[in-house]
Structure 1
Amino acid sequence: MIEKTTSILEKYLPKQAAPIIAQWIYQAPCMFKISKNRLSKFGDYRSPFGRKGHRISINHNLNPYAFLVTTVHEFAHLKTWNEYKSRVKPHGKEWKKNFKLLMEPFFNGEILPPDVRAAVTTYLGNPAASSCGDLTLFRTLQRYDQPRAGFVRVEELPPGAAFVLPNGRIFRKGEKMRTRFRCTEIHTGKVYLFSPVAEVKRDVIEHH
């Protein structure tokens, strides 16, 4: 069974990393789901509740290195929950310690290319709540994405430009806050915060 899981994971992870992650899934144990793309997050962890055990989901469309970093991030939550339950902060010092510990096997051999290894090393100095919250790491991981025709990053759009999400929702780019851009959904007038590196499509029709 673990061999089948490893085989499936090899489609999403660097090949050398797949058996390590498969082992984690069975040791936990946890329900590991490869999910549809979610703009707001790369992955998530849910602690045991009722009859359900540990659950982790990772977006299917991440490149192998982004998939790996996100998976380790979520397993660090699982390990921290096993040790402390809900008595500590989700991204406190306990989680940071576990994230660093769980990343160690992937620095061996040739699993990570040099630029990703360097970016992850810097990130491990003080891991953020999300790998996409660290723009240096995110941009490094993004180099390994397959190019998507017609997509641009929010930070590349001029102020006031309209853009479209894959689900058809249309937004107008507003001012930059500390790390994210305030963008208004044109249909509802609601304001949402977008990461500078979120990939969207420029809307060619001018909306007023």
Structure 2
Amino acid sequence: MDKVKVLQRYLPPDAAPLIGRWIDYFKCEFKISRNRNSKFGDYRPPFDGKGHRISVNYDLNPYAFLVTTVHEFAHLHTWNEHKHKAKPHGTEWKNNFKRMMQPFFEKEIFPPDVKAAIVSYLNNPAASSCSDLGLYRSLRKYDAPKEDVHTVEKIPVHALFKIKDGRVFRKEEKLRKRYKCTEVATKRVYLFSPVAEVELIKD
């Protein structure tokens, strides 16, 4: 099947042709991956006879899929220019990420709220789009609704919640950017991102 048609299942349709051209131009193996809780996407430079490899989680909404894809292609472009001399999310990568996002602004691919969040993020892009809370929240609005899934910031203080591995926590007070949460079984304290997705345990 034509790669652009496949990409249109995951990306905003008007963005797919350009991503398809990037895959060809950079001779990149582009993989649509299973869900990974720790990351949205991944870039691997050429190694051991393999070329550039990019993977992006299949279950992202189209705007999050596009932001992640551009993020990873900026890594590829930076590696081509600087090899190992550039830091993974240093100035060279930031400049490439800004430049590579421009065509999608010109095509008006993003809704106004997402575009505004990306522009703010581009002033100093972080290692991950999910580490920028403004961008992460704006992208999450376009996720399909999930039953019984809440973010830590939305549940009441002292409420109990469960994470994917089954462990149960009690939400405590906010410490700067994260929430202190106590694991019920061990009484150990962990810090959770405000936008971590959890299952609320109802009384």
TM, length-normalised to structure 1: 0.87
Match of 2:178 in 1: 180
- Could you say what secondary structure the match of 1:16 adopts? helix
Match of 1:62 in 2: 60
Unaligned ranges ≥5, structure 2: none
Q: How do 1:122-133 and structure 2 match up within 5 A?
A: 122-133=120-131
Deviation at 1:167, TM superposition (A): 4.7
Distance (whole Å) between structure 2 residues aligned to residue 64 and residue 150 of structure 1 = 22
Deviation at 1:5, TM superposition (A): 0.9
- Could you say what secondary structure the match of 1:136 adopts? helix
Q: How do 1:129-140 and structure 2 match up within 5 A?
A: 129-140=127-138
Match of 1:31 in 2: 29
Distance 1:52 1:191, change over 3 A: farther
Distance 1:99 1:192, change over 3 A: farther
Match of 1:199 in 2: 197
Which string of whole-angstrom CA distances, capped at 9 and with x for unpartnered residues, describes residues 167-198 of structure 1?
54444445544433354555677765532112
Distance (whole Å) between structure 1 residues aligned to residue 122 and residue 72 of structure 2 = 15
* Of 88-97 and 169-178, the range deviating more from structure 2: 169-178
Match of 1:120 among 89, 101, 118: 118
* Of 59-68 and 104-113, the range deviating more from structure 2: 104-113
Which string of whole-angstrom CA distances, capped at 9 and with x for unpartnered residues, describes residues 35-75 of structure 1?
12222211111222212222111111111111101110111
Distance (whole Å) between structure 2 residues aligned to residue 157 and residue 39 of structure 1 = 20
Match of 2:11 among 13, 23, 26: 13
Match of 1:50 in 2: 48
Deviation at 1:81, TM superposition (A): 0.8
Q: How do 1:80-99 and structure 2 match up within 5 A?
A: 80-99=78-97
Identity of aligned residues (%): 60
Q: How do 1:143-182 and structure 2 match up within 5 A?
A: 143-182=141-180
Distance 1:35 1:152, change over 3 A: same
Q: CA RMSD in A?
A: 2.2
Distance 1:47 1:186, change over 3 A: farther
Distance (whole Å) between structure 2 residues aligned to residue 191 and residue 32 of structure 1 = 39
Distance 1:54 1:166, change over 3 A: same
Distance 1:53 1:175, change over 3 A: farther
Give the count of matched residue pairs.
203
Deviation at 1:7, TM superposition (A): 0.6
Unaligned ranges ≥5, structure 1: none
Distance 1:84 1:176, change over 3 A: farther
Match of 1:40 in 2: 38
Query: Does residue 22 in structure 1 map to residue 31 in structure 2?
Result: no
Distance 1:76 1:177, change over 3 A: farther
Distance (whole Å) between structure 1 residues aligned to residue 42 and residue 158 of structure 2 = 32
Which string of whole-angstrom CA distances, capped at 9 and with x for unpartnered residues, describes residues 78-131 of structure 1?
111111111121111000000001001101233111111111111111111111
Q: Structure 1: which amino acid aligns with 2:140? A: Q
TM, length-normalised to structure 2: 0.89
